[in-house]
């Protein structure tokens, strides 16, 4: 059974509406509405409104099942054209045509034609622990890992020396200043004392 809905004087050019309508033919109504929702075209809103109207007519007026409804045809006809003008230089007038369109959506019921997603099968119960293989075959990576672990155990048996505490830069500078320089410990002090005594004697005289 066919059910239709019309939308007249839609302020969109027929060419733009036909680009949307040509990809929705022979699709279930639910999938067509979903496609209109994700189409990057403004005319998809007007087409979706007409499809919803036809779906409501089929459900309320003829008691048809929603899941069995399929889009049979979407007709787009040119409506009356509004003529406007744009004034240009030297007294000229450039014409502007604001086109309209009439959209007609025809749907019908096809029991079992709608594509439904199959129900997922239940999974088989999985074992908690996997049985160990009877004869394990050592691989190259396994042999290398075993050799590395053996080497690590032998080296860890040796007694490691305690690391020496690190000194900061300030502590190192203080320690260097505290150390007396070679050959200048006693002689420098004596020379400085002699110079001080000579200067005092000169001042006294």
The CATH number of 2-109 is 3.90.470.10
Q: Are 26 and 35 in contact (CB under 8 A)?
A: no
The tens digit of pLDDT for each residue in 66-79 reads 889 999 999 999 99
pLDDT of residue 114: 58
Confidence (pTM): 0.55
Residues in the chain predicted with pLDDT less than 50, given as ranges, are 117-119, 154-156
pLDDT of residue 117: 47
Q: What secondary structure does DSSP assign to 120-161, as a single string?
A: PPPPPPPPSSPPPPSSPPP-HHHHHHHHHHHHHHHHHHSPPP
Burial (CB count <10 Å: 0-12, 13-18, 19+), residue 66: middle
Nearest to 72 by CA among 135, 33, 29: 29
Phi and psi torsions of 109, nearest 5° = -95, 125
Break the chain into its structural domains and give their ranges: 2-109
Token pair belonging to 126 = 């999985």
pLDDT of residue 168: 72
Phi and psi torsions of 140, nearest 5° = -65, -40
């Amino acid at each position: 059974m066919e059910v239709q809905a019309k939308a007249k004087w839609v302020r969109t050019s027929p060419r733009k509406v036909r680009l949307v309508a040509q990809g929705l033919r022979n699709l279930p109504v639910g999938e067509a509405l979903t496609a209109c929702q994700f189409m990057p075209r403004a005319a998809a809103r007007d087409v979706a409104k007409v499809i919803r109207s036809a779906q409501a007519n089929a459900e309320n007026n003829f008691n048809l099942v929603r899941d069995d409804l399929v889009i049979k045809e979407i007709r787009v006809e040119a409506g009356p054209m509004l003529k406007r003008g744009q004034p240009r230089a030297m007294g000229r007038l450039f014409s502007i045509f604001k086109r309209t369109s009439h959209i007609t959506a025809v749907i019908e019921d096809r029991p079992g034609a709608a594509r439904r997603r199959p129900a997922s099968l239940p999974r088989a119960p999985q074992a908690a622990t996997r049985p160990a293989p009877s004869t394990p075959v050592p691989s190259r990576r396994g042999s290398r890992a075993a050799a590395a672990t053996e080497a690590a155990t032998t080296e860890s048996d040796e007694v490691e020396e305690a690391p020496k505490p690190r000194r900061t830069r300030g502590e190192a500078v203080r320690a260097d200043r505290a150390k007396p320089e070679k050959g200048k410990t006693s002689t420098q002090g004596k020379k400085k004392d002699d110079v001080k005594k000579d200067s005092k004697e000169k001042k006294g005289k």
